[in-house]
Amino acid sequence: MKQKIIGIFICSLILIPVLSVTAAGSNSTQFEIRTIDEGLLVGIAALIENIGEVEAENVEWSIEFKSGNILLPFEGLKKGSFESIPAGEINSIFSGPVFGIGLFRPAEVTVTVSASNAETVEKTVSVIVVLFYTFVLS
Protein backbone atom coordinates (compact mmCIF):
# COMPACT_ATOMS: atom_id res chain seq x y z
CA MET A 1 0.00 0.00 0.00
CA LYS A 2 2.79 2.38 0.94
CA GLN A 3 4.53 1.66 -2.41
CA LYS A 4 1.34 2.51 -4.37
CA ILE A 5 1.04 5.86 -2.61
CA ILE A 6 4.70 6.67 -3.31
CA GLY A 7 4.23 5.60 -6.95
CA ILE A 8 1.18 7.84 -7.38
CA PHE A 9 3.03 10.73 -5.75
CA ILE A 10 6.03 10.33 -8.07
CA CYS A 11 3.78 10.08 -11.16
CA SER A 12 1.94 13.24 -10.18
CA LEU A 13 5.24 15.09 -9.69
CA ILE A 14 6.26 14.06 -13.21
CA LEU A 15 2.92 14.93 -14.85
CA ILE A 16 2.33 18.37 -13.30
CA PRO A 17 5.25 20.09 -15.14
CA VAL A 18 4.29 18.38 -18.42
CA LEU A 19 0.69 19.58 -18.18
CA SER A 20 1.68 23.14 -17.28
CA VAL A 21 4.11 23.37 -20.25
CA THR A 22 1.37 22.16 -22.61
CA ALA A 23 -1.08 24.75 -21.32
CA ALA A 24 1.46 27.57 -21.58
CA GLY A 25 2.35 26.58 -25.16
CA SER A 26 -1.23 26.99 -26.36
CA ASN A 27 -1.23 30.72 -25.52
CA SER A 28 1.12 31.80 -28.29
CA THR A 29 1.53 34.16 -31.18
CA GLN A 30 1.95 32.73 -34.66
CA PHE A 31 2.00 34.32 -38.10
CA GLU A 32 0.74 33.16 -41.45
CA ILE A 33 1.67 34.90 -44.68
CA ARG A 34 -1.63 34.47 -46.49
CA THR A 35 -0.86 35.85 -49.94
CA ILE A 36 1.95 37.42 -51.89
CA ASP A 37 0.58 39.17 -54.94
CA GLU A 38 1.05 42.04 -57.34
CA GLY A 39 0.36 45.36 -55.68
CA LEU A 40 -1.70 46.92 -58.49
CA LEU A 41 0.99 45.61 -60.90
CA VAL A 42 3.67 48.03 -59.60
CA GLY A 43 5.10 46.17 -56.63
CA ILE A 44 4.56 43.30 -54.24
CA ALA A 45 1.83 43.21 -51.61
CA ALA A 46 1.40 40.59 -48.90
CA LEU A 47 -1.17 39.84 -46.23
CA ILE A 48 0.09 38.89 -42.76
CA GLU A 49 -2.27 37.27 -40.26
CA ASN A 50 -1.70 36.71 -36.57
CA ILE A 51 -3.25 33.24 -36.21
CA GLY A 52 -2.14 32.94 -32.59
CA GLU A 53 -4.16 33.61 -29.48
CA VAL A 54 -2.05 36.52 -28.20
CA GLU A 55 -1.26 39.97 -29.62
CA ALA A 56 2.04 40.07 -31.54
CA GLU A 57 4.38 42.78 -30.29
CA ASN A 58 7.20 44.65 -32.05
CA VAL A 59 6.43 43.13 -35.45
CA GLU A 60 9.15 43.46 -38.10
CA TRP A 61 8.64 42.59 -41.77
CA SER A 62 10.70 42.61 -44.94
CA ILE A 63 10.20 42.02 -48.64
CA GLU A 64 13.44 40.94 -50.30
CA PHE A 65 14.07 40.56 -54.03
CA LYS A 66 16.72 37.96 -54.85
CA SER A 67 18.25 37.34 -58.28
CA GLY A 68 16.65 38.80 -61.39
CA ASN A 69 17.56 42.28 -62.57
CA ILE A 70 15.86 44.40 -59.91
CA LEU A 71 17.01 48.03 -59.76
CA LEU A 72 14.38 49.38 -57.36
CA PRO A 73 14.00 49.08 -54.36
CA PHE A 74 17.69 49.74 -53.81
CA GLU A 75 19.56 46.68 -52.57
CA GLY A 76 16.38 44.69 -53.33
CA LEU A 77 15.03 45.12 -49.81
CA LYS A 78 12.05 46.88 -48.26
CA LYS A 79 11.58 46.78 -44.46
CA GLY A 80 8.93 47.97 -42.09
CA SER A 81 7.37 47.39 -38.68
CA PHE A 82 4.14 47.45 -36.71
CA GLU A 83 3.90 48.17 -33.00
CA SER A 84 1.53 45.22 -32.64
CA ILE A 85 -0.92 42.97 -34.48
CA PRO A 86 -3.87 41.75 -32.37
CA ALA A 87 -4.78 38.06 -32.43
CA GLY A 88 -6.85 37.17 -35.49
CA GLU A 89 -6.09 40.42 -37.31
CA ILE A 90 -4.71 40.73 -40.85
CA ASN A 91 -2.29 43.51 -41.90
CA SER A 92 -1.08 44.29 -45.40
CA ILE A 93 2.45 45.24 -46.41
CA PHE A 94 3.67 46.72 -49.70
CA SER A 95 7.11 46.87 -51.30
CA GLY A 96 6.51 50.19 -52.98
CA PRO A 97 7.35 50.61 -56.67
CA VAL A 98 9.60 47.97 -58.17
CA PHE A 99 11.69 48.55 -61.29
CA GLY A 100 13.55 45.86 -63.15
CA ILE A 101 14.47 44.30 -66.45
CA GLY A 102 13.70 40.64 -65.89
CA LEU A 103 11.45 39.37 -68.69
CA PHE A 104 13.60 36.27 -69.22
CA ARG A 105 15.11 36.06 -65.74
CA PRO A 106 12.57 35.63 -62.92
CA ALA A 107 13.38 36.95 -59.47
CA GLU A 108 12.56 35.39 -56.12
CA VAL A 109 10.69 37.45 -53.57
CA THR A 110 10.86 36.44 -49.92
CA VAL A 111 8.48 37.94 -47.37
CA THR A 112 9.66 37.58 -43.77
CA VAL A 113 7.70 38.40 -40.60
CA SER A 114 8.87 38.23 -36.98
CA ALA A 115 7.88 39.59 -33.59
CA SER A 116 9.39 39.74 -30.14
CA ASN A 117 6.93 37.07 -28.97
CA ALA A 118 6.65 34.94 -32.14
CA GLU A 119 8.81 32.81 -34.37
CA THR A 120 10.00 34.11 -37.72
CA VAL A 121 7.91 33.05 -40.72
CA GLU A 122 8.87 33.44 -44.36
CA LYS A 123 7.38 32.65 -47.75
CA THR A 124 9.01 32.83 -51.18
CA VAL A 125 7.46 33.27 -54.64
CA SER A 126 8.87 33.74 -58.14
CA VAL A 127 8.11 36.96 -60.01
CA ILE A 128 8.86 38.60 -63.32
CA VAL A 129 9.52 42.33 -63.27
CA VAL A 130 9.30 44.23 -66.55
CA LEU A 131 9.98 47.92 -66.02
CA PHE A 132 7.42 48.88 -63.32
CA TYR A 133 5.10 45.89 -63.86
CA THR A 134 5.34 42.92 -61.53
CA PHE A 135 3.81 39.49 -62.22
CA VAL A 136 3.78 36.73 -59.59
CA LEU A 137 4.45 33.28 -61.10
CA SER A 138 4.03 31.01 -58.08
Per-residue pLDDT tens for 11-27?
455 655 544 444 444 56
pTM: 0.76
Strand 118-131 relative to strand 133-136, pairing: antiparallel
Per-residue pLDDT tens for 45-70?
999 999 999 999 999 999 999 877 77
From the options 2.70.150.10, 2.60.40.10, 2.60.120.620, 2.40.50.100, give the CATH code of 28-136. Answer: 2.60.40.10
User: Collapsing DSSP states into helix, strand and coil, what is residue 70?
Assistant: strand
Contact between 70 and 99 (Cβ < 8 Å): yes
Return the domain boundaries, the chain: 28-136
